[in-house]
Amino acid sequence: MVLRWLLALLVVTTLLGLFANEHWMTRRLALDGRGPGQQAEVVDDSGSGGASHAELVTSPDGAQTMRCEIKPGFEWPFCELQITPKRGELDLTRFSSLRLWVTVQGPQKDAGPAQLRVFLRSFHPGYPGHGVGEDLKPHEVVFAPAGLTLPVELRLSQFMVSSWWAQTHPLPVPLMGPQLDRVRAISFSTGGQVLPGMHVIRLDRAELIGNWVAPETFRLGLVMLWMASLLGYLVWESWAVRARLRRSMRRSQALEKLALRDPLTQVANREGLNRALELLLRAQGELSFPLSVVFVDADHFKRVNDEHGHDVGDQVLTLLAQTLRANLPRDDLVARWGGEEFVIVMPQTPAEEAVAVAERLRAVLQRTPWPAGLAVTASWGVAEAPNEAGLEAAMREADQAMYRAKHGGRDRVISASA
Ligand SMILES: Nc1nc2c(ncn2[C@@H]2O[C@H](COP(=O)(O)OP(=O)(O)OP(=O)(O)O)[C@@H](O)[C@H]2O)c(=O)[nH]1
């Protein structure tokens, strides 16, 4: 169930994340000459020996329009609308595409739609001429905007170093290829095979688009998220299984304890005594011997029930058991054998000592304040087991000795050997 929720959450997070990274977590930068931070200007071939002439018109809505009269006679005639950030350079590596709202008109009717060259010009101190004017490295994309739906989106990876520039500017290998980390200008230029006549380039908007987090980094992050979630789940599950196991062990231990204890008197029952004896013999073996067994049976207990009710009878049995337990060392075992009969097992105790202990306990019962002002006594039978083999016989003999105590007048201790 948890896994299902976790999976659903991860799937939703992943899809939402991918969508957000693509559409919401984006940075934009206008690069169209609007605002005080940028400057728009036109450049024509007149500075290089040509006769073409360009002029710039800025519309009230901010659109930049270059009107250019291309004159023949020069080898590479051109006009160019150039936008430069006033404060130096732009690092375009943080962006992935350039969105353009641009239209081009030219005189060519039969020669096909007029072409536009877009240049990103970047600086590097290693370039020949050290960034003076034309020695900025041009990165170029050529296309015909006519008929395209605006905006036209150009991926920055589509910009290639102009081959004519590369041929005349031999560069060391590390500086070859596109470099967009220090762009000083973006230009919109007439095409390479430009026809003489009037050319108009109108730039309504130019916008750089980039992701806050690069898509590859973002996807890597998502993979890490999945791995971490999976690992977290595995750790959590193994912890949960261990916790379940611990709980069920505790429960079964509690149940086992219940099964070995007499619920009324809270001392061991017969099964509990057998189990405790087993453990004792396993731990101490023959060291437990000589071991004495004492049978204790409340005297005339039926009368207690008959005269004072079953509840008082229960209270007497409970007090009797707890009194025995409280007045014996921890190593001695106390159990309810059944009804109003109890058994005490005293390891490392010869019969004479056990008789003395039984006498002491008998005296304790006389001093005990019993419910309903009763004077409760018991009959005691003591027998000694010299070794493990003699244990069963000792139980039997102690029981018989207890009966002899009954027949002898009750409230007394009888040793089987007496
Ligand atoms: N209240 C109560 N009575 C119990 C319980 N278990 C056994 N008894 C009662 O203990 C009484 C034992 O009676 P008997 O076996 O005649 O023995 P006694 O009256 O003690 O007489 P002697 O043993 O000969 O001294 C019976 O009335 C049982 O009902 C118990 O858990 N609670």
Q: Residue 398: what residue type?
A: A
**CA dist., res. 374 & res. 317, Å (int):** 12
- CB of 214 within 8 A of CB of 37? no
Provide the 10 A C-beta neighbour count for residue 184: 17
CA of 306 to the centre of ligand 1 (A): 10
254 confidence band (pLDDT: 50, 70, 90)? confident
Helices 301-308/310-326 angle, 10° precision = 140
12 confidence band (pLDDT: 50, 70, 90)? very high
Beta bridge partners of 141: 118
Q: Does domain 261-415 have CATH number 3.30.70.270?
A: yes
Q: What is the pLDDT of residue 75?
A: 84
| pLDDT of residue 253 exceeding 50 | yes
Q: Which of these, 78, 65, 79, lies nearest to 32 by C-alpha position?
A: 65
Per DSSP, which regions of 64-177 are E strands?
64-70, 79-85, 97-105, 116-122, 137-143, 152-155, 160-161
| pLDDT of residue 310 exceeding 70 | yes
Average pLDDT over residues 235-262: 90
By mean pLDDT, which of 125-134, 135-144, 252-261 is the weakest? 125-134
**SS3 at position 148:** coil
**CA dist., res. 382 & res. 401, Å (int):** 6
Q: What is the pLDDT of residue 304?
A: 97
Q: For a pocket test of ligand 1, which of 305, 307, 336, 404 has the largest count of ligand atoms closer than 8 A to its C-beta?
A: 305
H-helix segments, 128-269: 163-168, 215-260
Q: Which amino acid residue places its CA nearest to atom 5 of ligand 1?
A: 339
**SS3 at position 23:** helix
Contact 342 CB / ligand 1 (< 6 Å): no
**CA dist., res. 22 & res. 394, Å (int):** 89
pLDDT in tens, 312-369: 999 999 999 999 999 999 999 999 999 999 999 999 999 999 999 999 999 999 999 9
pLDDT in tens, 123-139: 988 887 654 455 899 99
Q: What is the pLDDT of residue 4?
A: 85
Token pair for residue 53? 């002439």
Q: Which residue has the higher pLDDT, 368 or 168?
A: 368
Contact 299 CB / ligand 1 (< 6 Å): yes
- CB of 115 within 8 A of CB of 70? no
| pLDDT of residue 164 exceeding 90 | no
Contact 407 CB / ligand 1 (< 6 Å): no
Q: Which amino acid residue places its CA nearest to atom 4 of ligand 1?
A: 339
Q: What is the pLDDT of residue 410?
A: 97
CA of 385 to the centre of ligand 1 (A): 28
**CA dist., res. 255 & res. 261, Å (int):** 10
H-helix segments, 336-412: 351-367, 391-407
- CB of 144 within 8 A of CB of 114? yes
DSSP-based helix, strand, coil % in the chain, nearest 5: 40, 30, 30
Q: What is the pLDDT of residue 309?
A: 96
Mean pLDDT score across all residues of the chain: 92
Q: For a pocket test of ligand 1, which of 270, 296, 302 has the largest count of ligand atoms closer than 8 A to its C-beta?
A: 302
Q: What is the pLDDT of residue 255?
A: 81
**CA dist., res. 355 & res. 19, Å (int):** 89
110 confidence band (pLDDT: 50, 70, 90)? low
Contact 297 CB / ligand 1 (< 6 Å): yes
Average pLDDT over residues 18-24: 89
- CB of 298 within 8 A of CB of 321? no
Q: What is the pLDDT of residue 88?
A: 82
Q: Which amino acid residue places its CA nearest to atom 24 of ligand 1?
A: 300
Q: Residue 187: what residue type?
A: S
Domain boundaries, the chain: 1-25+218-254, 26-211, 261-415
Average pLDDT over residues 412-416: 98
Provide the 10 A C-beta neighbour count for residue 386: 15
CA of 342 to the centre of ligand 1 (A): 12
- Decide: residue 322, CB within 10 A, 0-12 exposed, 13-18 middle, 19+ buried: middle
* CATH architecture, range 26-211: Sandwich (2.60)
Separation of first and last alpha carbons in the chain: 72
Provide the 10 A C-beta neighbour count for residue 325: 18
Q: For a pocket test of ligand 1, which of 340, 376, 403 has the largest count of ligand atoms closer than 8 A to its C-beta?
A: 340
Contact 28 CB / ligand 1 (< 6 Å): no
Average pLDDT over residues 394-413: 97
Contact 317 CB / ligand 1 (< 6 Å): yes
Q: What is the pLDDT of residue 195?
A: 87
Contact 406 CB / ligand 1 (< 6 Å): yes
Q: What is the pLDDT of residue 126?
A: 85
pLDDT in tens, 57-86: 999 888 999 999 999 888 889 999 999 988
The percent of residues in the chain predicted with pLDDT above 90, rounded, is 72
Q: What are phi and psi of 262, to 5 degrees?
A: -80, 120
The DSSP-derived string for 54-79 is EEEEE-TTS-EEEEEEE-SSSSS--E
